[in-house]
Amino acid sequence: MHNAAIAALGLDAVYVAFRVAPTALPTMLEACAAAGMGGNLTVPHKQAGADRVPHLTPLARALGAVNTFWTDAGALHGDNTDVAGIGEALDALGAEPPWLLCGTGGSARATVAAALRRGAALLIRSRDPGRAAAFAAWTVEAAAALGLAPVEVASDEGQAARTVVNATPQGLAGGDPPPLPAARWRGAHAALDLTYRPGGTAWTRACREAGLRASDGGAVLVAQGAHAFERFFPGTPAPRDVMTAAVARFLAP
């Protein structure tokens, strides 16, 4: 996606994937700063990155998670473009509240920021009820840190939801069970699956067959990537059509 955008605009750059062990992250980020590089952090580095990137946007600081970094005057800066990506994908689905949010990890935090920006009420679903309650309490802290009004939030106890968001890794592997039982999403009108795989995810297909509007993580991937690209190359609008086509080729069945 990034290399397709770089080639389309004739930029002198290349996007490369590095597999980095958690213990090597500080050294890797120091090397990136020394070389004037920018990039993305993904699982499991987003939270650790927030402790290691010295200059964070207020959003990345409030979420304690960085997915995009760049170098300015020899120092690393970090932002969280998952929030814009998830928000845009939900807007495209016309996502009505309340949103039932599955998972309490980094992308669930980004979904909370998107909900706070839209005033969307939330239901939190976790494998552990205590974690759901703690996460619900954290949304109030996040709202304060972002200078936004808190939203109505509760642990999921079977209340009606209009939109369902899968912010767990369930769906990444072909044989994965659905992220939540059918009874919890069949009454909704929209579903966003943050996972993606070639040919689409089984849960997204099941949602569409049941009449929901549904997107998998491909839409979020492009949107967060477009915002990241504009951090890497300030003043250069991301060629979204090129990036969308590159992701579509990658995710083709």
Ligand X SMILES: NC(=O)c1ccc[n+]([C@@H]2O[C@H](COP(=O)([O-])OP(=O)(O)OC[C@H]3O[C@@H](n4cnc5c(N)ncnc54)[C@H](OP(=O)(O)O)[C@@H]3O)[C@@H](O)[C@H]2O)c1
CB of 113 to ligand X, least distance (A): 13
Give the 3-state secondary structure percentages of the chain, helix then strand then coil, rounded to 5.
45, 15, 40
Helix (H) or strand (E) holding 232: helix 217-232
CB of 63 to ligand X, least distance (A): 11
Of 33 and 87, the one with the shorter C-beta distance to ligand X is 87
Closest approach of ligand X to the CB of residue 65, in Å: 8
Do residues 239 and 5 lie in contact, with contact meaning Cβ atoms separated by under 8 Å?
yes
Q: Which of 46, 184, 197, 231 is catalytic?
A: 46
CB nearest ligand X: which residue? 105
How near is the Cβ of 89 to ligand X at its closest, in Å?
A: 8
- Nearer to ligand X among residue 146 and residue 166 (C-beta): 166
Q: How far apart are CA 146 and CA 54, in angstroms?
A: 19
* Phi (first) and psi of residue 69, to 5 degrees: -135, 155
**Beta partners for residue 213, in sequence order:** 190
Of the two residues 33 and 221, which places its CB atom closer to ligand X in the complex? 221
Tell me the CB-side half-sphere exposure of residue 119, using CA atoms within 13 A: 1
Nearer to ligand X, 172 or 202 (CB): 172
CA distances from 173 to 45, 127, 178, 202 (A): 21, 19, 11, 10
CA angle 215, 224, 243 (to 5 degrees): 80
Q: Which residues bind ligand X (CB under 6 A)?
A: 43, 82, 85, 103-108, 126-128, 131, 167-170, 172, 194-196, 217, 220-221, 224
Count of other CB atoms within 10 angstroms of residue 99? 26
Record the tokens describing residue 247, joined without a space.
Answer: 């992701």
- Calpha distance 155→233 (Å, rounded): 40
Smallest separation, CB 176 to ligand X (Å): 8
Of residues 56 and 201, the one with the C-beta less far from ligand X: 201
Query: Is 151 among the residues known to form the active site?
Result: no
Q: Would you please indicate which residues are annotated as catalytic (active-site) residues?
A: 46
